Amino acid sequence: MAYVTWGEERAERTVVCVHGLTGNASDFDELAATLAREGYRVVCPDVVGRGGSDRLDDPEGYGLRQYRADMACLIARLRLAAVDWVGTSMGGLVGVTLAALPRAPLRRLVLNDIGPWVRAAALQRLGTMLGTDPRFADLAEAERWLRKVRAPSGPLTDKQWRRMAERSVRRGEDGALRLHFDPAIARPFARTSHRDLDVWSVWDRIECPTLVLRGEHSDVLLRETAEEMAERGPRAEVMEIGGCGHPPALVDGDQIALITEWLRRTRS
């Protein structure tokens, strides 16, 4: 498993940032740089099958059980008794499953537009990006494609869209640019996305302080789900981000400040 670290290795606090279904560690470059300046050590892994991490020989292994085990191993490898966690979409679900364990290694949990219940229609929409495996002649073509499929992330600047394109593709052996993840992750995802995701029973076991960020127009984290998350389990603090859907990109200074200020305020 590949991962990127920011900040001092001996920092008092470590934040682990885990990306979404088709993302990679560089999705958190802006947030990680800010947290490092505030004295945190930040660890941003590539989930297996994404970015620089290996791909599984058997694609059926792509799923939350594998991801949770890998992240637990990462925390152990770093010799950390406890970490703060920031997870976007899938990365948030991994955090939820870890936080619910007895003697969980998570001190605080930040979820970016994900909750313990997601309707099947939203999962199927996310899955449409997985099975296409497009090739792009150049970075400009990749950027145009991303502007369409990632439009719910909000009104990003031209510079931010270009940076998203740069971090989302890699050049293949055929010379074309391809998305930086294993297309085979679509297979197990498609098998389960026809039904609603429901892990409320897991949510109810979480005890650590929790922040939930919700995109105003999100179809993945519905407003009523976020409201229920504030009433049960860890009784999360919920903040809504205007002008975007699923998921907020977390590259804007105002969005980043929601996380850094909450971590500062809840630090014990």
Q: How far apart are CA 28 and CA 25, in angstroms?
A: 6
Q: How many CA atoms lie within 13 A of 224 on its CB side?
A: 3
**Domain boundaries 3-265, CATH class:** alpha beta
Is residue 145 scored above 80 in pLDDT? yes
H/E segment holding residue 262: helix 253-265
For the chain, what are the domain ranges? Answer: 3-265
End-to-end CA distance of the chain: 31
Mean pLDDT of 28-49: 98
| pTM value > 0.75 | yes
Burial (CB < 10 A; 0-12, 13-18, 19+), residue 179, is buried
Share of the chain above pLDDT 90, in %: 91
Is residue 175 scored above 90 in pLDDT? no
Q: Could you report the per-residue pLDDT of 225-241, keeping only the tens digit for each?
A: 999 999 999 999 999 99
- Per-residue confidence at 128, pLDDT binned at 50, 70, 90? confident
Mean pLDDT of 136-152: 94
Q: Could you report the per-residue pLDDT of 102-112, keeping only the tens digit for each?
A: 999 999 999 99
